Structure 1
Amino acid sequence: MPILILAAVVIIDQYSKHYIQTHMLPGISLPVIDNIFHITYVLNPGAAFGILENQQAFFVIIALLMLCLSAYFFSRIPQNFRLMRLGISLLAGGAVGNVIDRVQTGYVVDFFDLRIWPVFNVADIAIVTGVGCVIYTLVFMSFSFENQEN
C-alpha cells in the first residue's frame, strides 16, 4: 500500500505538471474562481516561498536523504500506526515528484494559486499533508502513552 500511495502521488504530480507545461506559458494565470483561486504557471527555482533559489544540488541531496530515512524507518513503524505510515508515504511521493523536476529542469513547476499564498503543486500538497499526518500521529501517540502510564 505505501508504494502505491507514493507512486500515485508521483504520477498525479508529474502528469499535472506536464499538462500545465504543454498547455500554458510561464507567468500565465487563468482564474478558476476570480481573485480566489487561479491556475498560474510558475517556474520555482527555490523551495517554499521561493527561499534558497537555485540551490538545486542542496534540494536534491536533502530529498534523497529524506527518502533514505523514510525507507529505513518505515519498516519500524508499527502496522497499527496507519496514519503515520500514510504520512511518510505522502512525504516520500511529494519529495520524489519535486526532485524529478529539479533534476530534469533545475526548477519546480507550480500552478495552484490561492492568491494569498505562494503558488504550489500536487507534490507540495502531498508533503504538507504527510507532515500533518506525522505530527498528528506523534502528538496523539505521545498522549496515549502518557495516559497508559497513569
Structure 2
Amino acid sequence: MVYFLIALIVFLIDQGTKYLIATRLTIGEQIPVIGDFFLITSHRNRGAAFGILQDQRWFFIVITTVVVIGIIWYLQKVKHQPNKMLPTALSLVLGGAIGNFLDRAISGEVVDFLQFNFGNYTFPIFNVADSCIVVGVALIILDSLMEIRREKQIAAAQQDHEEKV
C-alpha cells in the first residue's frame, strides 16, 4: 500500500504545481529563481519528451494506459520483495505517468514549467511528473545493474562452494 501512496503523493504534487502555473501565470511568463540558470516558465506541451510527436493525443492515451496497467501489475508482483528500490522506482514512474496522462486526457496538453539554461543551451521545459518518471527509470536501471551484480556474486559463491566440496 505504501507504494501506491508514494504514487499518489507524486500525482498530487504534480497536479498541484501544474494548477498553480496554469492559473497564476500566462503562457510564456517567466519567474527567475536562480538568475538565468533556473526559471519557472509557463509552457504547454502537446507532445512527448522534448516536444516530439506533437498532437498525438490518442496515441499517448493508449500507450500510457498500457504502461500504467503494466506498472500496477508489476508493482503488485514485486512489492513484497526485500529490495525496496524497484517498487519505489515503479511508484515514481506510476505517479508521474498518471499525472501527465490526466493532463493529456483532459486538455490534450501537458503543463510544463521547470526551465534550466546552460549558457546558450536551454534544456526542454519539464514538470514534476517528468522529473519523477526520469528518477524512477534511473532507479530501475540502477536496480537492474545491482541485480546483475548480485546474481554474479551468488553464482561465484556457488561455484566456490562446489569446488571446495
After TM superposition, the score normalised by the length of structure 2 is: 0.88
Alignment of 1:1-150 (within 5 A): 1-77=2-78, 78-115=80-117, 116-150=122-156
Following superposition, the deviation at residue 62 of structure 1 comes to: 1.1
SS in 2 for 1:74: helix
Q: What is the number of equivalent residue pairs in this alignment? A: 150
How far, CA to CA, are the matches of 1:25 and 1:18 in structure 2?
A: 12
Following superposition, the deviation at residue 118 of structure 1 comes to: 0.5
How far, CA to CA, are the matches of 2:76 and 2:83 in structure 1?
A: 11
SS in 2 for 1:75: helix
**Residues 19-67 of structure 1: CA deviation (Å, up to 9, x unaligned):** 0111100011111111100000001000000000000111111111111
How far, CA to CA, are the matches of 1:80 and 1:60 in structure 2?
A: 33
After TM superposition, the runs of 4+ consecutive aligned structure 1 residues lying more than 3 A away are none
Following superposition, the deviation at residue 113 of structure 1 comes to: 0.3
Segments of 5+ residues of structure 2 without an aligned counterpart are 157-165
SS in 2 for 1:145: helix
Letter in 2 for 1:138: S
Letter in 2 for 1:59: F
SS in 1 for 2:130: helix
Following superposition, the deviation at residue 73 of structure 1 comes to: 1.4
**Residues 86-115 of structure 1: CA deviation (Å, up to 9, x unaligned):** 000100100000011001110000000012
Following superposition, the deviation at residue 82 of structure 1 comes to: 0.5
SS in 2 for 1:118: coil
How far, CA to CA, are the matches of 1:82 and 1:71 in structure 2?
A: 15
Letter in 1 for 2:154: Q
How far, CA to CA, are the matches of 2:70 and 2:6 in structure 1?
A: 17
How far, CA to CA, are the matches of 2:8 and 2:77 in structure 1?
A: 21
What percent of counterpart residues are identical?
36
How far, CA to CA, are the matches of 1:146 and 1:4 in structure 2?
A: 34
